[in-house]
Amino acid sequence: MPYYKSPQRLEGTGPNITFTPGQSYWINSYYIPPIDFGTTINLNVLSDREGRTSVLLAPYDESQQSIVGPVLLNVVFTSHQKGLVIFTSAKKAGPYLLTITSYNSSYTFYLTSTWSPFYKFKQLAVYSFLLLPLGAAMVYYSHIMDEREKMEEKALAGISKDNERN
């Protein structure tokens, strides 16, 4: 099931903190499950203040936990820009990372593309295959116990009929 892919939407707001003179910016990163090469990616970002946000969208290497090229988007909003809408396609097959840096501002974003809605359950697949023999054994045991109960009922019914005759 982790390999079934359908149109998905990732959305969020941020940074949900109170800015102070010592903390004037905040970086949020969002993991996007693996996307196939050439798949369309649509990204909308809207900031509440002009020129106070930067956006990075790039392929992500899970094993090294780093961004790898080619970067799809690396934009710092200009002094007259509050948002952006981009339509691009995946330059590499694999997971992507969306990083939004807000400088004393908040934002809302929407990212749509095609990936597996079951990707987060990928790790559970191994455990589910290990549980299959256990489930089969439980079904078999249940069948044996059911047959045993039927035999007991049949035997007890026969005993009670014999007692009634005597």
Assess whether 94 and 135 both reside in one domain.
no
CA distances from residue 150 to 94, 122, 155, 156 in whole angstroms, order as listed: 56, 42, 9, 10
pLDDT tens column, 121-160: 666 666 777 778 888 888 888 889 999 998 888 888 877 6
Q: What is the model's pLDDT at position 58? A: 95
pLDDT at 108 over 70: yes
Assess whether 80 and 12 both reside in one domain.
yes
Task: Give the structural domain span for 158.
Answer: 123-166
Q: What is the model's pLDDT at position 27? A: 93
pLDDT at 57 over 90: yes
Assess whether 76 and 16 both reside in one domain.
yes
pLDDT tens column, 63-105: 888 998 889 999 999 999 999 999 999 999 999 999 999 998 9
Assess whether 39 and 87 both reside in one domain.
yes
Task: Spell out the residues 6+ positions from residue 158 whose beta carbon is closer than 8 angstroms to its own.
Answer: none
- CA 34/CA 97 separation, integer angstroms: 10
Model confidence band, residue 59 (pLDDT cutoffs 50, 70, 90): very high
Q: Domain total for the chain?
A: 2
Assess whether 75 and 152 both reside in one domain.
no
Q: What is the model's pLDDT at position 99? A: 95
Task: Spell out the residues 6+ positions from residue 145 whose beta carbon is closer than 8 angstroms to its own.
Answer: none
Assess whether 56 and 134 both reside in one domain.
no
Assess whether 110 and 149 both reside in one domain.
no
- H or E segment and range at residue 154: helix 124-165
